[in-house]
Amino acid sequence: MDYVSLHTHTTFSLLDSYGTPEQYVQRASEIGHKAIAITEHGNTSSHPKLEKACRKHGIKPIYGCEFYVGEDKQRSKNHITVLARNLEGYRNLLRLSTLAYTEERFYYMPTIRITDLFQYQEGLIVLSGCLAGLVSRRVLDGDMDGARDVARLLKDNLEHFYIEVQPLTLEDSVTANNGLVEIAGELNIPLVATNDVHYLEPGDEKVQWFLSTVRRRKNIHDDWGTMDKRCYLATGEEMIAWGAPAEAVRNTVRIADMCEEFELPKAEPVRFGIDNPYEALVELCREGWRARKIPREDWDTYKARLFRELELIKDKNFVDYFLVVADMVQWAKSQGILVGPARGSAAGSLVSYLVGITEVDPIEWDLLFERFIDVSRHDPPDIDLDFQDNRREEVKEYLRQKYGVDRVANIAGYSLFKPKSLLDDIGRVFKIPRPEIEEAKNDLYENGGTKSVGEVISERWEELSHLTKVEGMIRQLTVHAAGVIVASDSLDGYTTLGRGGNIMLDHRDAEYLG
């Protein structure tokens, strides 16, 4: 039977799931799914990677979010699953996820109210959620009347609403599903079967248990519960065999058919905000020519290089980019903020030197411009800038004032499970003596040894060999110390704005949406 995964977590639901969007999409393709949804907790960080992976494997992407729902200053939250049916719905999904991080909504976790969902429901499909859902929690509390009231409220105020059942092995799952099926029948609300996917394949629950233990800062002797062995990407046949109603399984395909296939919105390059930017760039080069005191006997060489660079910059629509960067650097220098002389391939650009972005003459040092801007590539050039550490925030504030608070944001940084930190976590979780962990670290390549972390784990603790899969996964989300994005219009039209107005994308995904 056809089945579509509508409730798949990702690595970006930090330490709450195992696997990347690419791995989930590949697995979905292998088991015959035609579409897949990713619903992170409270944000949309994985969507660029989902789009790229689905294009590669020929699967329809469905963009969603598992929201936390609650009232102001209420620490206990319920969950609700929301899917974008079309591009308008996707923009509403972003509005909701950004709203969840605002000061008046965020309380321990990014939170929306039920009324927010009603207000921004256009283009959305709403599922009642997992065992922590608005309806199922009341069923589990024995409050069937309260569960009916909430289900009725959602049905009456949402155009597309489904009761969600999940055929897990947990006793609570059976209790919740019985109550949910009863309420759906009484109120004539369609059922949909989802699986609370937290890992890729059967057996990976051991990896997920480890990640959850790390997240909760527990160890093997702490009794916090067990990971359900059905929380992997399953087929429709498996779902029915586990007890999901056949009609509920078929409804996953109906929902997927309702969802249009659209491209994620991409931002236009930022504009400097003047009528003739190319003439402005040329004039900056003239001023730089005079200020740098280019030797007269070398004018022909410098002019040939300058005209070639300017033409390529113009042809590739990079003019505004150079003006934005040059303006930022010159403002910083005017405020006495230290700026690095040059780093990376930007030092090969004469234009960068003349407009004051760099302080290295590429002709004097025989540096190649083509390492900076390649004729055959269309992605923007990479200008690495170093600003005085304790005054970076002043530069960011200048950008906010010039381009708009909602158009400037820090990007995210991700710390990964690296070999030594992974061994530290294994030692803490499994109560392995510290000297034994330090001895294991000495065997690593990076410590002068001869082995990978996978070899170290497998040889020393064979029963933990499954944890070699964790290396390279995202361990923690951070704000990048210096990475800033400047957009052509409000960033919440393209991604979730988190706390402080920062986006939860790394530089690669930020570039992909720009």
**pLDDT tens-digit map of 186-237:** 999 999 999 999 999 998 988 988 988 888 777 766 654 566 899 999 999 9
CA distances from 220 to 180, 206, 228, 479, 489 (A): 34, 12, 17, 31, 49
pLDDT range class, residue 81, cuts 50, 70, 90: very high
Element at 239 (helix H, strand E): helix 236-241
Q: Residue 302 has which token pair? A: 């410098």
State the pLDDT at residue 14. Answer: 57
Cα separations in angstroms, 255 against 62, 251, 361, 434: 10, 6, 59, 51
Asked if 199 and 205 count as a contact pair (C-beta separation under 8 A), the reply is yes
In the structure encoding, which two tokens stand for residue 128, read together?
């009642």
> Which residues have C-beta within 8 Å of that of residue 203, sequence separation ≥ 6?
466
Task: Please state, in angstroms and rounded to a whole number, the distance separating the CA atoms of residues 456 and 223.
Answer: 28
pLDDT in tens, 482-492: 788 999 899 99
3-state secondary structure (DSSP) of residue 378: coil
Q: What does the alpha-carbon distance between residue 277 and residue 266 come to, in Å, rounded to a whole number?
A: 22
Contacts of 239 (CB under 8 A, 6+ apart): 3, 167, 193, 195, 249
Residue range 347-356: mean pLDDT, rounded: 97
**Is residue 388 predicted with pLDDT exceeding 50?**
yes
User: Would you say residue 507 has pLDDT above 60?
Assistant: yes
In this prediction, residues 409-423 reach a mean pLDDT of 90
φ, ψ at 165 (rounded to 5°): -120, 145
Residue 218, pLDDT score: 73
Report, in this order, helix, strand and coil percent for the chain, each rounded to 5. 45, 15, 40
Please count the residues of the chain.
514
**CA distance to 15, 201, 472, per residue, from 420 (Å):** 18, 27, 12
pLDDT of residue 1: 61
Least-confidence region, from 58-72, 187-201, 495-509: 495-509
Cα(352)–Cα(360) distance, rounded to whole angstroms? 9
Q: Taking each helix axis as running N to C, give the angle between helix 319-334 and helix 299-315, from 0 to 180 degrees, rounded to the nearest 10.
A: 120
Q: Look at residue 15 in the predicted model and tell me its pLDDT.
A: 67
Report the distance separating Cα 433 and Cα 493, nearest Å: 50
Question: Distance between CA atoms of 492 and 90, rounded to whole angstroms?
Answer: 11
pLDDT over 90 at 151, yes or no: yes
With bands split at pLDDT 50, 70 and 90, how would you rate the model's confidence at 13?
Answer: low
Provide the strand spans (E) within 109-199: 111-112, 124-127, 161-165, 191-193
pLDDT at 224: 47
Q: What is the mean pLDDT of the chain?
A: 92
Rounded to an integer, what distance in angstroms lies between the CA atom of residue 281 and that of residue 341? Answer: 20
Q: What is the per-residue pLDDT across 93-115, written as a single tens digit (0 to 9) for each?
A: 999 999 999 988 999 999 999 99
Distance between CA atoms of residues 38 and 197, nearest Å: 10
Running DSSP on this structure, what letter comes out for residue 113?
A: -
Question: What is the number of alpha carbons within 13 Å of residue 208 lying toward its C-beta?
Answer: 27
Residue 37, pLDDT above cutoff 90: yes
- 3-state SS track over 385-434: CCECHHHHHHHHHHHHHHHCHHHEEEEEEEEECCHHHHHHHHHHHCCCCH
What letter does residue 373 receive in the DSSP assignment? S
